Amino acid sequence: MTRVMVAGLGNMGMSHALAHHHHQGAEIVGLVNRSTVELPPALQSYPTFTDFHEALAATQPDLAVIATYTDSHADYAIAAMEAGAHVFVEKPLTMDVADAERVVETAKRTGRKLVVGYVLRHHPSWVRLIEEARALGGPYVFRLNLNQQSSGAEWETHKALMQTTSPIVDCGVHYVDVMCQVTDAKPLRVHGMGLRLSDEIAADMYNYGQFQVLFDDGSVGWYEAGWGPMMSETAFFVKDIVSPNGAVSITDGNKGASADIEGHTRVGGIRVHRVGSDDTDIDMPGEPGHQELCDAEQAWMLKAIADDIDLTRHMQDAVQSLRICLAADESIRTGKPVSLQEATQ
């Protein structure tokens, strides 16, 4: 039985806690949140804490699930591994590449498992999308975005996130990870641009951004993300991968509101276009919802511990996707392209 402590009880943390509550191989020993939150009935019997380090010392977990704000990820993850716990940490892994590398180094040195919350890796439809794209052969053009017209509680959540993390970093790491899985190539250069579209966020933050990334196999990627009540509900969910031999596209994903979390992972249907032949439409019925994806993610975390799965490539990929998105953020703030050649050698 794996003893689990969950820190951060927002949308993702609560779902991860429920996943462990229902898993026969897990035992929740503590829930951590800085403020008081309303817990669902299934979680109300577990010990609660407001301080991460006190909870870590009191519960001595085998696994720490960290779903707090990004600026605390590095310190919490390292403290947990130094205390002997394996770590699952939500994306983005950290605020900067140096901290991400420090977390990975700690995992290697302590022999603890480190898994980053790239939920699309556990979604069968996204796995199929990547397989179909790789079968076409590169180099590739990636056209990916996720804009969210948020208002009310969703906008308040986005404003809170933007105190530490921009939309293209928070959301972009998922889709850059998809790019990297398809190309299996090294990023060379990133060029980003963005705009602050609201006086309700800090003067040095932007709530709309886009960037282009060039890979060493010739592939090019575009990603766009925006948050706020001003965002359009038109073409807010584009997932398109093009190669010299054709294209793979999501055709039925997220037809509801852009702020619908359930819709952000939904594929529905995939269209495969091959040059010189008819298009093929692949239906993806029965896709997992948000909670089912979190269940699968945490089940894989427990399996990685039990089966001693080698996570070297997983950790490398997590740092790589973060490096690209942070380079895009740097490019937006400086107005200059950012070279990644030295960082990836």
pLDDT, tens only, 9-55 = 999 999 999 999 999 999 999 999 999 899 999 999 999 999 999 99
CB 139 within 8 A of CB 219: yes
Residue 257 pLDDT > 70: no
Query: Tens of pLDDT along 185-237?
Result: 999 999 999 999 999 999 999 999 999 999 999 999 999 999 999 999 888 88
Least confident of 6-15, 16-25, 158-167, 293-302: 158-167
Residue 318 burial (C-beta neighbours within 10 Å; 0-12, 13-18, 19+): buried
Helix (H, G, I), strand (E, B) or coil at 272: strand
Distance CA 167, CA 9 (A): 21
- Where does 2-116 sit in CATH, by number? 3.40.50.720
Distance CA 308, CA 3 (A): 17
Supply the pLDDT for residue 227. Answer: 96
Supply the pLDDT for residue 344. Answer: 46
Q: What is the largest CA-CA distance in the chain?
A: 64
Distance CA 290, CA 305 (A): 23
Residue spans in the chain of domains classed CATH 3.30.360.10: 120-288+322-344
> Which amino acid does the sequence have at 237?
F
Supply the pLDDT for residue 255. Answer: 53
Distance CA 88, CA 67 (A): 8
- Determine what percent of the chain is predicted with pLDDT higher than 90: 85
Residue 91 burial (C-beta neighbours within 10 Å; 0-12, 13-18, 19+): buried
Residue whose tokens read 């196999």: 217
CB 332 within 8 A of CB 194: yes
Distance CA 340, CA 326 (A): 11
Residue 281 burial (C-beta neighbours within 10 Å; 0-12, 13-18, 19+): exposed
Strand (E) or helix (H) holding 165: none
Nearest residue to 265 via CA among 118, 48, 154, 163: 118
The token pair that represents 307 in the structure block = 């089966």
Instruction: Evaluate the omega torsion of the peptide bond into residue 139 and state whether it is cis, within 30 degrees of 0.
Output: yes
Distance CA 190, CA 213 (A): 4
Nearest residue to 138 via CA among 182, 188, 83, 186: 182
CB atoms within 10 A of CB 69: 16
Helix (H, G, I), strand (E, B) or coil at 330: helix
The token pair that represents 136 in the structure block = 């076409």
Residue 345 pLDDT > 70: no
CB 32 within 8 A of CB 93: no
Distance CA 179, CA 248 (A): 13
Dihedral (Cα; 189, 73, 177, 256), 10-degree rounding: -120
Give the DSSP letter of residue 192: E
Residue spans in the chain of domains classed CATH 3.40.50.720: 2-116
- Determine what percent of the chain is predicted with pLDDT higher than 70: 94
Radius of gyration of the chain (CA): 20
Question: What class, spelled out in words, does domain 120-288+322-344 have in CATH?
Answer: alpha beta
